[in-house]
A and B are shown apart, each in its own frame.
Chain A
C-alpha cells in the first residue's frame, strides 16, 4: 500500500475521444509524475508536476497534458486518442527536496486504458 490512489482503474475509449485520469498522491508528497506502460514494457516517463507546474517532460506529444492541484492531486488528460495510447497509466508521487525520499518514487496501481 503506497498511499497513491488512481481512478478509474479501467476504461475503454474510442479513437479520437479525450480521456482524463486522476491521481491522489501519498500524504506529504508534493511532486506527481505520470508514466505510460505498454504491455511487456517498462514504464515510460510522460511528465512531472511540482507546485502546480510542469517541470519535466518525456518524449510525449502535446496532446498529453496534465494538471496538479493545490492539494497535490493530479490529472492526466489525453486528447485525440489513438490506438497506441492503449496502456497502463501510472501515477507516482515523491517529496522534492528530501534526499532520503525525494528520489524515492512511489507508484499507484494504475489506470488501464483501452482505445478501440
Chain B
C-alpha cells in the first residue's frame, strides 16, 4: 500500500539535543498527524495539523503543515530519555476520513546517555 516518505529512518542523539524529522508525499493531504509509538503499544497522537502553513506546538514538540500540502515536519527540542520511540507521520485526504490514514515507515529515535 501507499506510504509516505519519512526521514530519517533512525536517529542516534545525545540527551539535550534538538531533533528534526520530516515527511513528504507525491500527493496532497488535507490533514497531517504525528504519532509516537513505544514497544508493545499503539500509536499515541502528538500533534494534529489541519491547515496548510499551520505551525502547532505541544510542549517541546513543534510541527508544521507544509504550504504545498505535500509535506510536514516535527521538531523536538531539548530531548529527554522518555522521547525514545518510533515517530510516525500520517496524512489524510478526506475530511470524513473514509480514506483512512496513510502512514510513513517511522523514525526510530534513540537517545544515547
Contact pattern, B 83-113, Cβ under 8 Å of A = 1, otherwise 0: 0000010101001111111111110000000
- Chain A positions within 8 Å of B96 at CB level: 50, 55, 96, 102
CB of B20 within 8 Å of the partner chain: no
Q: Are B88 and A31 in contact, with the CB atoms below 8 A?
A: no
Given contacts A94-B97, A107-B43, contact A99 B103 (CB under 8 A): no
CB of A68 within 8 Å of the partner chain: no
Given contacts A90-B42, A105-B45, A106-B45, contact A44 B97 (CB under 8 A): no
Contact pattern, A 53-92, Cβ under 8 Å of B = 1, otherwise 0: 0011011000000000000000000000000000000101
Q: Are A102 and B45 in contact, with the CB atoms below 8 A?
A: no
- Chain A positions within 8 Å of B44 at CB level: 2, 107
Contact size class for A? 20 to 34
Taking a contact as CB atoms closer than 8 A, the residue among B41, B98, B106 that contacts A55 in the complex is B98
Q: How far apart are the CA atoms of A50 and B96 in the complex, in Å?
A: 10
Q: How far apart are the CA atoms of A104 and B44 in the complex, in Å?
A: 11
Q: Are A99 and B50 in contact, with the CB atoms below 8 A?
A: yes
Q: Are B97 and A42 in contact, with the CB atoms below 8 A?
A: no
CB under 8 Å from chain B, chain A span 40-58: 40-48, 50, 55-56, 58
- Chain A positions within 8 Å of B43 at CB level: 43, 90, 107
Please list the residues of chain A having a beta carbon within 8 angstroms of any beta carbon in chain B: 2, 4, 31, 33, 35, 40-48, 50, 55-56, 58-59, 90, 92, 94, 96, 99, 102-110
5 chain-A/chain-B pairs, Cβ below 8 angstroms: A41-B106, A44-B103, A99-B95, A102-B95, A109-B40
Q: Which 8 A-B pairs have the closest CB atoms?
A: A45-B100, A42-B103, A56-B98, A107-B42, A103-B31, A109-B42, A55-B98, A107-B43
